[in-house]
Amino acid sequence: MAKYGPFGVNKGFRSIARIDDMPGAGQVVVEGNYAYISHMRPPEGTTILDISDRKNPRIVCQLEVPPNIHSHKVRVHGDLMLVNYEKFRFYDGPEKSRGGLKLFDISDKSNPREIAFVDAGEWGYHRFTFDGRYCYGSPEPEGYVGNIMGILDLKDPEKPEYTALWWVPGQWVGGGEEPLPEGRRVRCHHPLRLGDRLYSGWWHHGWYIHDISDLSKPKPIVHIDWSPPFVCPTHTAMPLPYEIKGRKILIVNDEEVSDRLAPTPNAFLWVVDATVETNPVPIATYRARKDDQPYDPKFWYGCHQPQEQIYGEQTQFAVTWFGGGLRMIDISDPWSVEELGYYIPEPGKGYEATQSNDVFQDVDGLYYLVDRNGGFDILEWVG
């Protein structure tokens, strides 16, 4: 294993609490005095933590999933919790997976009650965002190759209905379309909404901006694809709801994965000027380290994702960097990204390496960090 360490180092963060033996997780969401953590491997599904005492998080409930299901994403709004059901690719048993989106009533946090399931075929849902009414996600329904973009109306959470489905021509092979030569490398990762626009990463097919002024008919405004020549797929295209120095800015990041086009470089983050949305222009990049080593399948180092919570006109953002832990960056000068600090936790219990996967910033400015191998941190940025 490439030794990228050191681990257990910190610059600018203060530890509030840590749970060493929290199972590996894909996402953490905080609402009020509860944190919701979705896990990477069955049988762990979703953990609900009482964090009213931030220094002493307490497990309230843990949901389990079948051995062939991967349920690593969660979103919450009020008493409604959404989790994904996706095919667990390491399952080698006889049962066929059935993926989708599962909805729970969590008015009783100790006993979530399933109220609906949106079927999405064998592969299921990968990721999604949720604004309390609409869910913007990436299902892979029967007949499609690779995740597509789906907008679900949850006005009646017990009877979810698709407002729209959108895909790249060639994905709907079940409808007679000629298959794309790239296969599942063309797929939606997850959309983010800002006003009447959706911004979504599409893996090795780049990223899109869609006009959703008519939610039933998403219309692509622009498609940018830089893979190739760059080697890693696009994970997130996140718009900022304010201008910086008179420019409309997107934070776009590629993801460090095994599905890459070359051993180097590690995945990194882009700053894009989208002032003219039909012609977005990359204006800066950020990499947590400059001396890239060849990709090691046992230890991912590069970028995973930025925080997706934005408060006011902030220009500091936390970004998870797998083996590089949590990085704090400043884009107040969007042409020159500055690294302000980092927190690289010790590896999860029983593992040799850190693999920081997701971060959530709450309204009080605290950061919640999960690792895909194991471990959970509550942090404060002190600079």
Percent of the chain's residues with pLDDT above 70? 99
C-beta atoms surrounding 50 within 10 Å:
16
Q: Percent helix, strand, coil in the chain (nearest 5)? A: 0, 50, 50
Instruction: List pLDDT tens digits, range 245-262.
Output: 999 999 999 999 999 999
pTM for the full model? 0.96
C-beta atoms surrounding 40 within 10 Å:
21
Query: Residue 340 class from Cβ within 10 Å (0-12 exposed, 13-18 middle, 19+ buried)?
Result: middle
- In the chain, which stretches have pLDDT less than 70? 1-4
How far is it, in rounded angstroms, from Cα 298 to Cα 279?
38
Query: Residue 67 class from Cβ within 10 Å (0-12 exposed, 13-18 middle, 19+ buried)?
Result: middle
Residues facing residue 320 across a β-bridge:
305, 326
111 occurs within a structural domain: yes
DSSP 302: S
Give the containing element (helix H, strand E) for 167. none
Radius of gyration of the chain, Cα coordinates, nearest whole angstrom:
20
4 occurs within a structural domain: no
2 occurs within a structural domain: no
CATH number of the domain bearing residue 132: 2.130.10.10
List the one residue out of 348, 253, 344, 354 whose CA is nearest residue 307.
253
3-class SS of residue 249? strand
Q: Are 54 and 366 in contact (CB under 8 A)?
A: yes
How far is it, in rounded angstroms, from Cα 220 to Cα 135?
19
Structure tokens at 113: 């009650």
C-beta atoms surrounding 48 within 10 Å:
23
The count of residues in the chain is 383
3 occurs within a structural domain: no
List the one residue out of 310, 236, 242, 309 whose CA is nearest residue 270.
236
C-beta atoms surrounding 197 within 10 Å:
18
Amino acid letter, residue 233: P
User: Is the preceding peptide bond at 239 cis, omega within 30 degrees of 0?
Assistant: no
233 occurs within a structural domain: yes
Q: Are 191 and 200 in contact (CB under 8 A)?
A: yes
List the one residue out of 317, 322, 307 whose CA is nearest residue 356.
322
DSSP 102: E
C-beta atoms surrounding 299 within 10 Å:
21
Q: What is the pLDDT of residue 4?
A: 64
128 occurs within a structural domain: yes
Q: How many domains does the chain have?
A: 1
Q: Nearest 10 degrees: CA dihedral of 132, 133, 137, 143?
A: 150
272 occurs within a structural domain: yes
Q: CA angle, 195 as apex, 236 and 81 as ends, to 5°?
A: 65
How far is it, in rounded angstroms, from Cα 284 to Cα 333?
10
How far is it, in rounded angstroms, from Cα 83 to Cα 93?
23
| Structural domain of 178 | 9-381
DSSP state string for 326-376: EEEEE-SSTTS-EEEEEEEPPPPTT-SS--EEEEEE-TTSEEEEEESSEEE
344 occurs within a structural domain: yes
Structure tokens at 157: 């959470």
Q: Are 249 and 334 in contact (CB under 8 A)?
A: yes
Amino acid letter, residue 329: I
